[in-house]
Amino acid sequence: MGTLFALALAPATTQAAVVINQPQSMGFGVMYPFMPGQTFTAVGTRIDTIGVELRNMNKSRPGSLVSLSLYEGEGSGGTLLASSSVDVRALLGDAGGAALVDFNLGAVKLQPGQTYSFQLTASDERFGVSYYSVLGEDAYPGGHMFNAFQSEPLGDLTFNVTAVPEPGMAALLLIGGGWLAGVRLRAGRRR
């Protein structure tokens, strides 16, 4: 039991790292009823959060929650892997500017090189999502923007994907060595 507890507390070698980052923004569009989304190509085996740049667009609308759903494959037709809802109104207040909103998905396992998609939903027209779409340019070549009605191969949402930090090798060796020493000590006492 103590070993499992120590393993759970094993320090990571680094903080959670942004593994995909598409920071460019040139416009924004209302989320409801379009339910915008983004495909991306996994570069690691796990993700923790997806951050998306959102803004108040219609402050007179009562909505507050925005949900993000993560799917296998392209679009929202694949297997649902995780979802998260955030009270965006509490984060943005009534400010008109944009802010990166993180959706915590927990440690979701992915296959590197495979395509995954996330889709945003909201109950009304209060919030908008930032995007980048310029003819002849592709801000993020590992995926593209889509919505409930069409795909946008040259457009991308303004987003990032954060990886789950893994325990450092030194920490795992230290814990393993401590466990082995404990086993030997107990075996020696039994004789």
Per the model's pLDDT, the better-predicted residue between 10 and 176 turns out to be 176
Average pLDDT value for residue range 48-70: 93
Q: What is the pLDDT of residues 119-146, one digit of tens each?
A: 999 998 899 999 998 877 888 999 999 9
Beta bridge partners of 21: 160
Band (28; pLDDT cuts 50, 70, 90): confident
Alpha carbon 35 to its chain's center: 17
Burial group, residue 14, by CB count within 10 angstroms (0-12, 13-18, 19+):
exposed
**pTM of the predicted model as reported, rounded to 2 decimal places:** 0.78
What's the pLDDT score for residue 18? 85
DSSP character string of the chain: -HHHHHHHTPPBSS---EEEEE---SEEEE-TTT--EEEEE--SSEEEEEEEEEEES-TTS---EEEEEEEESSTTSS-EEEEEEEEHHHHHTT--SEEEEEEEEEEEE--TT-EEEEEEEESSTTEEEEEEE-TT--S-TT--EE-SS-EETTEEESEEEEPPPPBPHHHHHHHHHHHHHHHHHHHHHH-
| Distance separating alpha carbons of residues 83 and 99, to the nearest angstrom | 20
| Distance separating alpha carbons of residues 18 and 172, to the nearest angstrom | 23
Closest CA to 68 of 8, 21, 26, 116: 116
What's the pLDDT score for residue 80? 98
Q: What is the pLDDT of residues 86-103, one digit of tens each?
A: 999 898 888 778 899 999
Place of tokens 């694949």: 78
Band (170; pLDDT cuts 50, 70, 90): very low
Q: Please, what is the end-to-end C-alpha distance for the chain in angstroms?
A: 23
Residue 15 has pLDDT above 70, yes or no: no
Band (31; pLDDT cuts 50, 70, 90): confident
Strand 65-72 vs strand 46-56: parallel, antiparallel, or unpaired? Answer: unpaired
Residue 39 has pLDDT above 90, yes or no: yes
